Structure 1
Amino acid sequence: MSLPSGAQAALDAFSACQGWEQRARLLMQWGEQLAPLSESERCESNRVAGCESQVWLLAERNGEHWQFRASSDARLLRGLLALLLARANDLPQRELTQLDLPDWFAQLGLARHLSPSRSNGLQAVLTRMQQLLTTDD
């Protein structure tokens, strides 16, 4: 399964990093690229349950493919969300339901730096993505 172009760009960028400090800086930069959500989009119905920080997620279907937008009040988490969206955006539903999040963050060299609560939060975001797929009309 080939990676979406955004995911390949992320993988290339993070693979070039020498250590955690470089990865952390790059993570913050990726987070700054997330399109901001409006106040009305930061509502309770778009909030992801199971995250310590506040996280909002919106999904839009474009034919067979899905586009997600997300934001968080935590800088580091915004970077992780940007990487998750780079991997998940434009995938068809079938591939989205098979997305292996721990493997993706391991490929980026970030898995061992994720606290259990961040890992659980990211898993909650992925679970919410998959719920949004099944509630689509």
Structure 2
Amino acid sequence: MIEDTAEAAQLAIAEEFAFFGDWTERYQYLIDLGRKLPPFPEALKTEEHRVQGCQSQVWLVAEGDAQALRFQAISDSAIVSGLIALLLRVYSGRSAAQILATEPRFIEAIGLAKHLSPTRSNGLAAMLATIKHKAAASAG
């Protein structure tokens, strides 16, 4: 389920979340998305790949170049893994320029900003900053 553009991915995410009536259902959907993340190699769970600023453990790795960056990530938290799934859907496989130009509007669109604890919001911001930093570094 990879959309052609980051914008299309954000619209699809907003539409999917609109199906759920309350936040209990939305959190369950997030957890389900996190469970569907591809396996993350144990060998990559190193301090070098750990995202700083997240309360839970999060590891994020980028591969590729400025034309197409692919991200792999995982967390020890079910909800955070779901957030990772959303971020990867929007940003992974995109060019560095597209990653840098894409603001994560889906966070506001699905009401996530109002329903995350401050520590999870900080973690989400840290993951996003890491993705943007890796894109900027590859853009050179």
Q: Give the TM-score range, shorter chain.
A: 0.7 to 0.9
TM-score, reference length from structure 2: 0.85
- Choose from 68, 72, 80 the match for 1:69: 72
Q: Find the counterpart in structure 1 of residue 97 from structure 2.
A: 94
Gaps of 5+ in 2: none
User: For the aligned residues, what is the CA RMSD?
Assistant: 2.0
Distance 2:102 2:32 in 1: 24
Does residue 1:25 correspond to 2:50, yes or no? no
- For the 8 Å contact 2:14–2:106, the answer to whether it is kept is no
- Kindly, what percent of the aligned residue pairs are identical? 33
Number of aligned residues: 135
Between 4-13 and 119-128, the greater mean CA deviation after superposition: 4-13
Distance 1:7 1:89 in 2: 13
Task: Spell out the pairing of 1:1-137 with structure 2 (5 A cutoff).
Answer: 3=6, 6-61=9-64, 64-101=67-104, 103-136=105-138
Letter in 2 for 1:128: T
Distance 2:102 2:16 in 1: 21
Gaps of 5+ in 1: none
- For the 8 Å contact 2:66–2:96, the answer to whether it is kept is no
* Residue 77 of structure 1: how far off its partner (Å): 0.5
The change in CA–CA distance for 1:32 and 1:41 in structure 2 (over 3 A counts) is same
The change in CA–CA distance for 1:133 and 1:122 in structure 2 (over 3 A counts) is same
Moved over 3 A (4+): 2-9, 134-137
Q: Which has the higher helix share?
A: 2
TM-score, reference length from structure 1: 0.86
